[in-house]
Structure 1
Amino acid sequence: MDLQKFVDTFYSMTCIVSVEKRKDGKLGRILYEYANKPFIEATEQAIRDGYAITKEPFKPGTSYERYMKKELNFEHFCYQCAVKKEPIHAYIRPEHFDFCINLIMLPLNIDDPNKAYCTYSQSISPEVDYDAMAKLSVETSTTVLKTCIKLRGATNLQKTMDEVLYDIREICGANYCCLLLTNFNERTCSVFSDSVKEGSNQHSIRDIVTNDFIDYAKTWVDILAGSNCLMLQNEDDFETIKKLDPNWHASLMQNNIDSLVLLPLEFNNRIAGFIWVTNFDTSKLLQIKETLEISSFFIASEVSNYLLLNKLEKLSNLDLLTGAKNRNSMNNRVSQFLKGDVSYKSLAVVFADLNGLKPVNDIKGHDAGDDLLKSAADILKDTFTEGEVYRAGGDEFLIIITDTPKEGIEAKVKKIHDKSQDINNVSFSLGFYYNGNGGDIRTAMHEADVRMYEDKKQFYAKHPELKKR
């Protein structure tokens, strides 16, 4: 067969790809053997646009890596199609390019003891083709639809996500599935949900993930290099990872990982986290890739909305200057006490009013005053770790503590009070009230407030020069 004449019959960009046959079953070299005019023109355009690795014109019989970076997903496609004789259709949104690729690969029946062959046709569009993305198998469509219905109807996203990850793990025939939340700006990292196959050699990583794990996640961004999916299924794939990131490779080996799918959860051009599956059924590689890529769109959307709502709720209850809870949060908390929504055996209330703020504002300026308020809030939050610290307003703070022995709280109040006598320190006037039988929150707040104002009178009697009015 004249393969050049054959490939020239294709209207769309097409080339003939060969995959080296190896006796050890490993993936051999992948070459672009022949290409039609549209494909060659596309490679030349890629050179002009700066996407290509080489600046030399297309040359038949050369490695695909001459024209693009090493891409494990593309290698898997070539192997599945050329060697295993499975037709391939995929829609790819490479983040490092400003276009989308709709590709079709078909196996060729060519008698060659050294190579297996397939066609590789692609069309490129500058915008996402949602019609192309929606052309899924019945099995994948059913799975994705089921995921969407569960997520949209969720009243408890945490619980629902546990169910979704269980479903994904089962579909993949995997031992473990995990959804990791990341915030690279704040350097935070946590497991939102995961699912472990009972009796497998895998285990949950919830207990070992700390914020330091974010450094691992950063390396994944580099390894993905803009791709929306990384699939490792054989020794060659893991050797590639070993070259890119020896530490991550060592971690994978230590945790008995022999196959892995990793996807970034992206929403509004920001990575909110990652979802990965380990030790999956590699015979279902393409179905797994298709299912996870589409499902991740909806998972990323729901998770991002969840994080946004949590952030808005946090901001609505947080004093942005000091980081203490704000007056709105304090009023809501007091209402919970009054409605009987809070169960407690003992109740302690501390009122702490910052001394000397007005002279600082008048002499040093309001920036210095803001710094003093921040320092005051930090002292109270670091001291009363068992309680809830609120900025009640201006320079006044309220601390509510339940079910804690009086002696411990009293000792902390005394320590702050003693330090406050030195006007070179951050100084507070304090009022402390404790009821070992619980009692009414309004009574506790009133008594603590009265005692705080008495303490303030004594302080300004000693330091009239710091009086606020």
Structure 2
Amino acid sequence: MKNLQNFIEQFKTMACILSVEKRNDGKAGNICIEIANKQYIEFLEKLNGNGKSSFETKFEPGSNYERFMPKALDFERCCHECAIEQKPVQAFIQPEQSNIHISMILLPLGIEDPNKAYCTLSQETSEESESSEESMLSAEMSKNVLKTCVKLRGATNLQKTMDEVIEDIRKICGANYCCVLLTNFNEHTYSVFSDSIKANSNHRSVRDYITEDFVDYAKTWLHLLAGNSCLIIKNKEDLETIEQNFPNWHRSLTNANIESLVLLPLEYNNVILGFIWVSNFDVSNTLNIKETLELTTFFVASEIANYQLVGRLEYLSNMDLLTNVQNRNSMNNRVSQFMNGKVQYKSLAVIFADLNGLKPVNDKYGHDAGDELLKKASSALKLTFSKSEIYRAGGDEFLVIILDQPKEDIEAKVQKLRENSENTDNVSFSLGFYYNENGGNIRTAMHEADVRMYEDKKQFYLRHPEKRKKL
């Protein structure tokens, strides 16, 4: 060991000799740091900004690596592949809860030992991911990543383009299945944005397995990833590790006939947008697949973030956030579509609904109470006209547009609202209803409905003069 210590001290970078326990069952055994040079020991024992040891322990030769860092399947896989399988390995990792990026080179050592296999580890660290790392990708990887980037950047229909990209990724990985899963942990929502299944593989879409507790499974993935760029399951041993720590998810994987899996978070500006899932892939090409996917995922996450932002802006520009119906801007755009002949219809119904008594509520109880009344009003309209277009045309005025529905059905709904409005304890509307069985002009329909609404409002206040000033 003395000679090995002298050997490892010759490294100018942080370096150590790792041992991997040999096991008859083919599983990876304990991984220990047998010998380390001064630079590597200083790295393990370095102080953080609070003056406390980052790993809260001093280095001792022969220590299990988990004394110094959280358990990491990717790291263990690299060590096993190098020491046991005697293959040189290059990899990049980021320890949990750290902004340090580690570039590692592992080389196998031919030390005769019936119980352990050995390899050297040399590494460099940086606080930012080095662009040189990306330049080390093979020409084939670079071509694949560039192909993805060009497709996504030139997309006019992101959904269609993403379907093509996910198909490409599945083929690159030699996988039976690949998909993009979107999650919103704050709102506890999820969706499958795109997926691809290999023909004749008998593999099913993850859509068939999604249940109400899917978001809880996704949170499990965050624990498994633990700050790493991806999670790789490539054999029964890895699956057994999942079973020990997350039995419910293991059961789900087993039921879906998952034998191998690559799972990468889609992260943009430190927000998890979702995940890329690749299952039953070519495990003989694991490291190349890992590096290709890590870089590709960056572009996928960026495009999805832009897509969601555009969708959110479109929502904000067209929805009234208080009442959750479409706003006046959306109404004007819709009327323009009617006028330009972009809307085809046989019959047209327009209803103006003006909320009665809003001003007295605002004056007596404040605008918060008035806002609640507006919310109740929109809810009543959505409940009554559930399959219709509803807009907030102004402060207390709503517009409903109904196409190709029988006049009798609409009249019955309008009459029900009128009857409810006579009870001053209910949400009360003044209503103007216009119907043209031949379609007709939208502006004419809106004008006629507006005139009838004001007449109805006049009659309402004649019957309920108290509603003008107080409840």
TM-score bucket of the superposed structures, by smaller chain: over 0.9
Q: Name the Cα RMSD after superposition.
A: 1.9
Matched with 1:136 is 137
Q: 5+ unaligned residues in a row in structure 2: which ranges? A: none
Distance across 2 between alignment mates of 1:392 and 1:140: 54
Q: 1:385, CA displacement in angstroms? A: 1.6
Matched with 1:260 is 261
Distance across 2 between alignment mates of 1:408 and 1:231: 58
The 3-state SS of whatever aligns with 1:301 is helix
Q: Is the 8 A contact 1:94 1:228 kept in 2?
A: no
The 3-state SS of whatever aligns with 1:368 is helix
Q: Is the 8 A contact 1:196 1:204 kept in 2?
A: yes
Q: 1:300, CA displacement in angstroms? A: 0.6
Residue correspondence of structure 1 range 25-424 to structure 2 within 5 A: 25-45=26-46, 49-52=52-55, 55-94=56-95, 96-206=97-207, 209=210, 212-424=213-425
What TM-score results when the alignment is normalised by the length of structure 2? 0.95
Distance across 1 between alignment mates of 2:412 and 2:212: 33
Distance across 2 between alignment mates of 1:296 and 1:19: 31
- Change in CA separation of 1:238 and 1:49 when aligned onto 2, cut-off 3 Å: farther
Q: Is the 8 A contact 1:85 1:107 kept in 2?
A: yes
Q: 1:213, CA displacement in angstroms? A: 2.5
Q: Is the 8 A contact 2:57 2:68 kept in 1?
A: no
Distance across 2 between alignment mates of 1:452 and 1:190: 42
Between the aligned residues of both structures, percent identity stands at 63
Distance across 1 between alignment mates of 2:386 and 2:217: 31
1:445 aligns to 2:446 (yes or no): yes
Between 241-250 and 151-160, the greater mean CA deviation after superposition: 241-250
Q: 1:94, CA displacement in angstroms? A: 4.0
The 3-state SS of whatever aligns with 1:397 is strand
Q: Deviations over 1:234-292 (max 9, x none)?
A: 22212222233222111111111111111111111111111110111111110110011
Matched with 1:13 is 14
- Change in CA separation of 1:335 and 1:42 when aligned onto 2, cut-off 3 Å: same
Between 230-239 and 166-175, the greater mean CA deviation after superposition: 230-239
- Change in CA separation of 1:325 and 1:145 when aligned onto 2, cut-off 3 Å: same
The 3-state SS of whatever aligns with 2:258 is coil
Q: Is the 8 A contact 1:232 1:261 kept in 2?
A: yes
Q: Is the 8 A contact 1:224 1:230 kept in 2?
A: yes
The 3-state SS of whatever aligns with 1:206 is helix
Q: 1:413, CA displacement in angstroms? A: 2.0
- Change in CA separation of 1:384 and 1:211 when aligned onto 2, cut-off 3 Å: farther
The 3-state SS of whatever aligns with 1:345 is coil
Q: 1:348, CA displacement in angstroms? A: 2.0
Distance across 2 between alignment mates of 1:445 and 1:293: 55
Between 85-94 and 338-347, the greater mean CA deviation after superposition: 85-94
Q: Is the 8 A contact 1:91 1:133 kept in 2?
A: no
Distance across 2 between alignment mates of 1:173 and 1:46: 44
The 3-state SS of whatever aligns with 1:393 is coil
Q: Is the 8 A contact 1:324 1:377 kept in 2?
A: yes
What TM-score results when the alignment is normalised by the length of structure 1? 0.95
Q: 1:321, CA displacement in angstroms? A: 1.8
Distance across 1 between alignment mates of 2:209 and 2:342: 35
Q: 1:35, CA displacement in angstroms? A: 0.9
Distance across 1 between alignment mates of 2:184 and 2:280: 27
Between 339-348 and 10-19, the greater mean CA deviation after superposition: 339-348
Between 250-259 and 373-382, the greater mean CA deviation after superposition: 373-382
The 3-state SS of whatever aligns with 2:70 is coil
Q: Is the 8 A contact 1:96 1:226 kept in 2?
A: yes
Distance across 2 between alignment mates of 1:93 and 1:213: 27
Q: 1:211, CA displacement in angstroms? A: 6.6
Distance across 2 between alignment mates of 1:401 and 1:209: 36
Between 386-395 and 112-121, the greater mean CA deviation after superposition: 112-121
Distance across 2 between alignment mates of 1:125 and 1:34: 23
Output the amino acid matched with 2:193.
Answer: F
Give the total of aligned pairs: 467
Q: 1:207, CA displacement in angstroms? A: 5.5
Q: Deviations over 1:189-246 (max 9, x none)?
A: 1111111111113212336547752222222222212212111112221222223322
Distance across 2 between alignment mates of 1:461 and 1:371: 26
